[in-house]
């Protein structure tokens, strides 16, 4: 970053402290010396996991999202607990939301992504879990989560993305990162 682009925080005010996010109003000095206001959402970060079964089915969840006022399809994901290892978070969220877990208790970190850098500092870490197995019939979702688990083929997921049935950005990114990971590992042997 060059100094020609850096914004200097003059002051920062907490507007709202929430369960998942905090909202700040920051007065900043721009590179040209003028001042403006930035509204910034602070988030603890999250992990998402694209998981495949032994039959190469991709596990998605279906849940209602109030912010969109509709049901959408997503990879399992959730917030990182304070001090929690990223891989542990990914496996915990996968098991809580789907009752599936990697046989070898191993997940592969594919990427860390900024979700909406125009107004939020949220980073979501995308993981891949292969050959997952069902651990129980009961899922341990949060009390405010109502989730249905879906098993889809890779072709079905691609079709759902192409037709706009899957609109969740982390899920789209996770799917294409997974495809790239598979391609790279086939080439390398």
* Residues 74, 166: Cα–Cα separation, whole Å: 7
Q: Yes or no: is domain 46-188 CATH 3.90.79.10?
A: yes
Q: Is 54 a catalytic residue?
A: no
**Beta carbons within 8 Å of 25's beta carbon, 6+ residues apart:** 12, 13, 15, 37, 38, 39
> Which of 7, 122, 143, 154 is the catalytic position?
143
Distance of CA 176 to the CA centre of its chain: 14
Say if strands 21-29 and 35-43 run parallel, antiparallel, or are unpaired: antiparallel
Q: Provide the residue ranges of all domains of the chain, joining segments of one domain with +.
A: 8-43, 46-188
* Residues 79, 70: Cα–Cα separation, whole Å: 21
Residue in the block written with tokens 């990223």: 86
- The pLDDT tens digits of the residues spanning 81-106 come to 999 999 999 999 999 999 999 988 88
* Higher per-residue pLDDT: 56 or 138: 56
Provide the CB-side half-sphere exposure for 38 (13 A, CA): 20
Confidence label for 141 from pLDDT (cuts 50, 70 and 90): low
Task: Flag whether the pTM goes above 0.95.
Answer: no
Residue in the block written with tokens 């279906």: 62
């Amino acid at each position: 970053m060059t100094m020609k682009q850096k914004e200097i925080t003059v002051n920062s005010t907490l507007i709202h402290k929430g369960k998942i996010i905090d909202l700040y109003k920051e007065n900043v000095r721009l590179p040209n010396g003028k001042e403006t206001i930035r509204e910034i959402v602070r988030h603890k970060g999250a992990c998402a996991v694209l998981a495949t079964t032994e039959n190469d089915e991709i596990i998605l969840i279906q849940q209602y999202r109030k912010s969109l006022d509709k049901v959408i399809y997503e990879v399992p994901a959730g917030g990182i607990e304070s001090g929690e290892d990223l891989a542990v978070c990914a496996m915990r969220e996968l098991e809580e939301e789907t009752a599936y877990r990697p046989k070898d208790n191993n997940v592969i970190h594919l990427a860390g992504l900024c979700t909406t850098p125009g107004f939020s500092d949220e980073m979501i870490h995308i993981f891949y879990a292969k050959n997952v197995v069902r651990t129980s019939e009961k899922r341990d979702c949060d009390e405010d989560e109502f989730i249905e688990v879906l098993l889809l083929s890779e072709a079905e997921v691609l079709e759902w993305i192409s037709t706009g049935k899957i609109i969740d950005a982390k899920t789209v990114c996770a799917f294409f990162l997974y495809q790239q990971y598979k391609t790279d590992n086939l080439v390398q042997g």
